């Protein structure tokens, strides 16, 4: 292992289920205070990675350390908060009693902590666990993951089943964890869920890590759709051939286009005219990822041809 400070570190981590690849050759380091978004379609290897880190399953080969120790060390588990992708909550026990039991087992969780989190997530803890809706099960799962202020949070598809307002509250909770210097590994198949809180994003596909990117750098490279409306018709030549500009449409006094990277050349060109109205859509990070996927697949196709 190389990086002594990394909270999660893997080297050549591989897991095969018989002949089927779950994960192959994962080498990754997640730093303290980092929110790491782990992205990929369902079945890509995200849950396999998480189960390996939690010592639920054992690797076929490769090495890993979690919080500076071997995941097999039971003391490590107490320092982790974990939300599984498929949460099994059954029975007649009330959600509050279940959470109180977990709090007692873990120790150091104040009585008010469960109530505070339940209020933030609008969770009804008076319902029997077997009768909870999908969204409420997810809230109970989040409360148990966050309540003991773990050093590392591992969250598998955390926003599944949550309504948009509760999703926002959850993302605020993740940001608070980061500000206290603690670390989050958060898997998702939906980019929008992780892009607003992640420092870096790893993309996994068919059991392989295809890219690790800094979110701020990605956003700078991202594709923006931009629209200008001017007070009078503008000549197409004024915008043609600008660096990073494509899909240019000029109709009378309006200009629509897509821009890669920094919008500065476009802004300077538009400044020569009188702008009445401008619309710039959020950078489409999804598009970048899809490009990665198709490039990676082309590369593999050539490699195996």
Compute how many other C-beta atoms are within 10 angstroms of the C-beta atom of residue 290: 12
What are 160's two structure tokens? 């599944």
What does DSSP assign to residue 283? P
Contact at 8 Å (CB) between 129 and 123? no
How far apart, in whole angstroms, are the C-alpha atoms of residue 183 and residue 66? 11
SS3 (DSSP) at 27: strand
Q: Is the dihedral of CA 58, 60, 66, 70 positive or negative?
A: positive
User: Would the pTM count as exceeding 0.85?
Assistant: no
Structure tokens at 233: 């018709």
Structure-block tokens of residue 236: 């197409």
Mind listing the pLDDT tens digit for each residue in 198-233?
A: 999 998 988 999 889 888 877 777 778 899 999 999
The rounded distance, in Å, linking the Cα atoms of 190 and 159 is: 10
pLDDT (0 to 100) of residue 42:
81
Of the pLDDT bands very low, low, confident and very high (cuts 50, 70, 90), residue 190 is: confident
Calculate the CA 150 to chain-centre distance: 18
pLDDT at 292 over 80: no
| Confidence band of 46 (pLDDT split at 50, 70, 90) | very high
């Amino acid at each position: 292992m190389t990086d002594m400070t990394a909270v999660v570190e893997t080297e050549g981590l591989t897991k095969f289920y018989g002949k089927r690849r779950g994960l192959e050759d994962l080498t990754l380091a997640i730093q303290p205070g980092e929110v790491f978004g782990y992205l990929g379609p369902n079945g890509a290897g995200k849950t396999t990675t998480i189960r390996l880190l939690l010592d639920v399953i054992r690797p076929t080969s490769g090495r890993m350390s979690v919080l500076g120790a071997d995941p097999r060390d039971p003391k490590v588990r107490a320092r982790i908060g974990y939300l599984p992708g498929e949460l099994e909550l059954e029975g007649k026990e009330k959600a509050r009693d279940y959470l109180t039991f977990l709090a007692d087992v873990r120790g150091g969780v104040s009585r008010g902590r469960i109530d505070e989190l339940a209020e933030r997530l609008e969770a009804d803890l008076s319902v029997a666990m077997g009768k909870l809706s999908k969204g409420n099960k997810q809230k109970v799962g989040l409360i148990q993951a966050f309540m003991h202020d773990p050093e590392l949070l591992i969250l598998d598809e955390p926003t599944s089943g949550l309504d948009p307002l509760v999703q926002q509250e959850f993302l605020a909770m993740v940001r608070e964890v980061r500000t206290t210097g603690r670390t989050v590994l958060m898997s998702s198949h939906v980019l929008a869920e992780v892009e607003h809180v992640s420092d870096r994003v790893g993309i996994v596909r068919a059991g392989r890590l295809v890219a690790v990117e800094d979110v701020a750098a990605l956003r700078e490279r991202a594709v923006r759709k931009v629209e200008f409306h001017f007070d009078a018709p503008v000549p197409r030549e004024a915008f043609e051939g600008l660096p990073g500009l494509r899909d240019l449409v000029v109709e009378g006094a309006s200009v629509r286009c897509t821009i890669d990277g920094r919008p500065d050349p476009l802004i300077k060109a538009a400044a020569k005219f009188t702008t009445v109205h401008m619309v710039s859509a959020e950078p489409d990070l999804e598009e970048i990822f899809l490009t990665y996927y198709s490039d990676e697949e082309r590369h593999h196709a050539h490699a195996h041809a």
